[in-house]
């Protein structure tokens, strides 16, 4: 009906206003039921199932337990909404009948105090004797208590937006023994399920919870409680400050840092400090607050904590890794004198190398503008920033580095792979093109297995990269790898007909004869092995590790194959399984 009304051009605001007035004028409890149902449907943190809604409407904020007589049938609840709310048949959740109604009910003054009411309702329910009596680690009762999950996971979301004095008292009552409350298990499992392994004992206290949600008034009350430990760790080693920093709750961070006993550099079980988490999450205001503390070290993991990351990740390191949407955080960190942007991690990778690996061009420009960063510093494995950019195909980063005079474009890693080899490995044509235009790049360099960029590109079937390499007049097609295979031999072995044709077009290309091992390498189905066929091809030529193809598989048969794009034809050896 509302869709038809919207199409006729009728003022929907007046329609909604008159309908809400009719709901308020209903007799008995229908008025309250209808308005509160619409408040829940329009302001809940996620769509509610009909049973969740019916339970929420039955909660009394002054009661000590749930009276099941107050749980109304779903038909009565929906009927009280006079058609403005329905059950979606696809999702089995309650929704408003039209998206414009959601916009209308979200306007200031229409549902005044909605989040305050919803938050109080959730807290009152969690403080019911029936709920508090549940074992903290027994989640088998969820089906019998449909409102328990929503209230446990989202009371803080509503309280953060609007909290009354009564709601604050309810929150402090819940959080007083929160570690032993079933809602702490539900919340902790929910927020950690995508990032961490499950724990039997989560040790998630009330201060951890309030810091996670960012409820300033509740945190302020909790830290004044006698015996409150502001540095207490939960099961993952997270302190309240880490939770606040991770979530970007600036007000809570400020409150915790103002406490005399607060340790701004206390790390979690993986040696990640509050500054590390704020940097990783991109919360600029929190990073500024933490950097203002002398105890917070952006260049080191906490020296008093064991390093379980495996690479000594510094807070500043992760800022540059995620710099594509963290440029403000990077700029904030670089403005502080105590930040060293050239300090490597335990693998020898500097923040500059980290930003190059992840393709953060904007961050690299900020670093280069400082003048105290080495853009060509290799890590412990010989991988330079240009090597990383080439490996991952970051063309603009490679362009930025190649334009500098202090970057060697041909530095190999410990495996002998140059940036050109890396770009050829994964077929990054744009990076290959950039590198080949540089005069200091050797297109015939070999890695520790004597593989040239051409052999590498050929073995991975990157035809366009092969074309780029063959366009160079100084490319050498006859450099064999440690197994004696030339590029043409590799193309023949893997069945890359088009690449083999490209290679054979070059007059200085040595044909390759297949060894018995190579011909019989696969056995799951029939295979085709190609040998370029020219009148001048020395088919009897033997390489160091090869035998004549006719002798390699005596049961096979030779056929002459042609490519629609290239000539000459190919002599193909078909080997049955």
| 413 inside domain | no
pLDDT at 73: 95
In a domain, 430, yes or no: no
Q: Do the beta carbons of residue 241 and residue 248 sit within 8 Å?
A: no
- pLDDT of 197: 59
User: Which of 447-473 are b and which e, b meaning 16 or more Cβ less than 10 Å from the residue's Cβ?
Assistant: beeebbbbbbbbbbbbeebbebbbeee
Q: Are residues 128 and 218 in the same domain?
A: yes
- Pairwise CA distance, residues 500 & 148, whole Å: 66
The CA distance from 410 to 566, in Å, is: 33
Which of 112-116, 263-267, 304-308, 522-526 bottoms out in mean pLDDT, i.e. has the lowest?
522-526
- pLDDT greater than 80 at residue 296: no
Please indicate, yes or no, if residue 524 is contained in any of the structural domains. no
- pLDDT-derived band at 330 (thresholds 50, 70, 90) equals low
Per-residue 3-state assignment (H helix, E strand, C coil) for 94-150? EEECCHHHHHHHCCCCCCCCHHHHHHHHHHHHHCCHHHHCCCCCCCCCHHHCCCHHH
Residue 248, domain extent = 115-259
Q: Are residues 2 and 63 in the same domain?
A: yes
Looking at the predicted structure, is the pLDDT value of residue 343 above 50? yes
pLDDT band at residue 286 using 50, 70 and 90 as cut-offs: confident
* Residue ending a domain, choose from 112, 145, 178: 112
Assess if residue 148 is contained within a domain: yes
In three-state secondary structure terms, 402 is helix
- For the whole model, what pTM was predicted? 0.68
DSSP β-ladder status, 527-532 and 94-96: unpaired
pLDDT of residue 279: 78
85 close to 41: Cβ distance less than 8 angstroms: yes
Q: What is the pLDDT of residue 132?
A: 92
pLDDT digits (tens, 9 = 90+) for 146-164: 999 999 999 999 999 999 9
pLDDT score, position 453: 97
- Do residues 158 and 78 both lie within one domain? no
Q: In the prediction, which pLDDT does 371 show? A: 77
In whole angstroms, how far apart are CA 315 and each of 297, 305, 353? 8, 14, 15
Same domain for 103 and 52, yes or no, is: yes
- For residues 252 and 292, membership in a common domain is answered with no
Within this chain, do residues 9 and 65 fall inside the same structural domain, yes or no? yes
Q: What token pair was written down for 449?
A: 């297995």
**439 assigned to some structural domain:** no
Q: Tell me how many domains the chain contains.
A: 3
What pLDDT digit, counting tens, does each position of 298-323 carry?
655 544 444 444 445 555 555 555 44
Q: Is the same domain home to 324 and 242? A: no
The pLDDT of residue 22 is above 90 = yes
* 140, part of any domain: yes
What's the pLDDT at 444?
Answer: 96
Q: Which of 286-295, 324-333, 492-501 has the highest mean pLDDT?
A: 492-501
Calculate mean pLDDT across residues 463-489: 92
pLDDT in tens, 54-110: 999 999 988 999 999 999 999 999 999 999 999 998 999 999 999 999 999 999 999
Do residues 71 and 155 share a domain?
no
List, for residues 156-196, the tens digit of each pLDDT value: 999 999 999 999 999 999 999 898 999 999 999 888 876 65
pLDDT at 383 over 50: yes
With bands split at pLDDT 50, 70 and 90, how would you rate the model's confidence at 4?
low
Mean predicted confidence (pLDDT) in 419-442 = 95
Residue 77 shares a structural domain with residue 119: no
User: Is residue 147 a part of any domain in this protein?
Assistant: yes
Tell me the mean pLDDT in the region 532-560. 39
Residue where a domain stops, chosen among 112, 141, 166: 112
User: Looking at the structure, do residues 254 and 268 belong to the same domain, yes or no?
Assistant: no
Residue finishing a domain among 112, 139, 162: 112
Q: Where are the alpha helices (DSSP H) in 224-296?
A: 240-247, 250-257, 274-281, 284-291
* Bridge partner list, 49: 93
Tokens 């590109």, residue? 457
304, 273, 278, 305: which is closest to 289 by C-alpha? 278
Q: What is the pLDDT of residue 353?
A: 87
* Half-sphere CA count of 41, side-chain side, radius 13 A: 30
State the pLDDT at residue 31: 96
Q: Give the Cα separation of 219 and 206 in Å (integer).
A: 9
Whether 241 and 276 share a structural domain = no
CATH number at residue 207: 1.25.40.20
72 and 201 co-located in one domain: no
φ, ψ for residue 96 (rounded to 5)?
Answer: -75, 155
DSSP 346-399: TTS--HHHHHHHTT-HHHHHHHHHHS---TT---TTS--HHHHHHHHT-HHHHH
Which phi-psi region, left, alpha or beta, contains residue 440 (left: φ > 0; alpha: ψ -120 to 50)? alpha
DSSP state of 515: P
In a domain? residue 572: no
Can you give the pLDDT at residue 533? 42
Whether 576 has a pLDDT exceeding 90, the answer reads no
Kindly report the average pLDDT of the chain as a whole number.
82
Rounded Cα–Cα distance for residues 244 and 211 (Å): 5
Given a cut of 70, whether residue 483 has pLDDT beyond it is yes
């Amino acid at each position: 009906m509302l869709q038809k009304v919207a199409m006729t051009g009728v003022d929907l605001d007046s329609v909604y206003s008159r309908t809400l007035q009719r709901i308020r004028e209903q007799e008995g409890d229908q008025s309250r039921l209808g308005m509160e149902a619409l408040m829940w449907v329009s302001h809940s943190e996620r769509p509610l199932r009909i049973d969740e809604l019916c339970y929420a409407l039955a909660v009394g904020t002054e009661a000590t337990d749930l009276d099941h007589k107050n749980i109304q049938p779903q038909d009565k609840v929906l009927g009280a909404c006079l058609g403005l709310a329905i059950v979606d048949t696809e999702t089995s959740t309650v929704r408003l009948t039209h998206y414009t109604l959601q916009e209308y009910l979200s306007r200031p003054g229409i549902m005044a105090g909605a989040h305050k009411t919803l938050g109080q309702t959730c807290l009152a329910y969690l403080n019911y004797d029936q709920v508090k009596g549940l074992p903290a680690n027994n989640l088998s009762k969820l089906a019998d208590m449909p409102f328990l999950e929503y209230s446990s996971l989202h009371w803080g979301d509503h309280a953060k937006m609007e909290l009354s004095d009564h709601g604050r008292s309810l929150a402090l009552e819940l959080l007083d023994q929160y570690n032993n409350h079933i809602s702490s298990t539900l919340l902790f499992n929910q927020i950690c399920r995508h990032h961490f392994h499950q724990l039997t004992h989560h040790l998630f206290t009330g201060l951890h919870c309030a810091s996670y949600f960012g409820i300033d008034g509740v945190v302020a009350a909790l830290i004044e409680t006698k015996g409150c430990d502001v540095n207490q760790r939960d099961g993952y080693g997270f302190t309240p400050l880490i939770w606040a920093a991770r979530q970007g709750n600036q007000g809570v961070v400020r409150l915790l840092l103002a406490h005399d006993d607060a340790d701004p550099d206390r790390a979690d079980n993986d040696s990640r400090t509050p500054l590390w988490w704020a940097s990783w999450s991109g919360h600029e205001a929190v990073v500024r607050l933490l950097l203002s503390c002398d105890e917070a070290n952006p260049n080191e993991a906490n020296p008093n904590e064991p390093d379980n990351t495996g690479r000594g990740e510094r807070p500043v390191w992760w800022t540059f890794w995620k710099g594509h949407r963290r440029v403000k955080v990077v700029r904030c960190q670089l403005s502080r004198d105590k930040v060293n942007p050239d300090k490597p991690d335990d693998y020898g990778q500097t923040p500059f190398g980290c930003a190059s690996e992840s393709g953060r061009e904007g961050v690299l420009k900020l670093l280069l503008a400082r003048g105290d960063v080495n853009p060509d510093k290799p890590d412990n494995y010989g991988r330079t920033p240009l090597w990383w950019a080439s490996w991952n195909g970051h063309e603009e980063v490679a362009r930025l580095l190649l334009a500098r005079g202090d970057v060697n474009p041909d530095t190999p890693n410990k495996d002998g792979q140059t940036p050109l080899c890396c770009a050829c490995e994964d077929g990054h044509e744009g990076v290959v093109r950039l590198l080949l235009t540089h005069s200091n790049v050797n297109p015939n360099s070999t890695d520790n297995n004597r593989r040239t960029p051409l052999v590498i590109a050929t073995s991975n079937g990157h035809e366009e990269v092969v074309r780029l390499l063959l366009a160079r007049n100084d490319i050498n097609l006859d450099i064999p790898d440690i197994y004696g295979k030339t590029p043409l031999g590799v193309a023949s072995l893997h069945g890359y007909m088009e690449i083999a044709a490209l290679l054979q077009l070059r007059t200085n290309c040595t044909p390759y004869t297949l060894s018995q091992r190579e011909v019989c390498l696969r056995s799951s189905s029939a295979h085709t092995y190609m040998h370029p066929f020219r009148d001048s091809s020395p088919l009897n030529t033997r390489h160091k590790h090869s035998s004549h193809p006719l002798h390699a598989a005596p049961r096979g048969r030779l056929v002459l194959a042609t490519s629609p794009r290239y000539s000459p034809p190919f002599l193909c050896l078909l080997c049955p399984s």
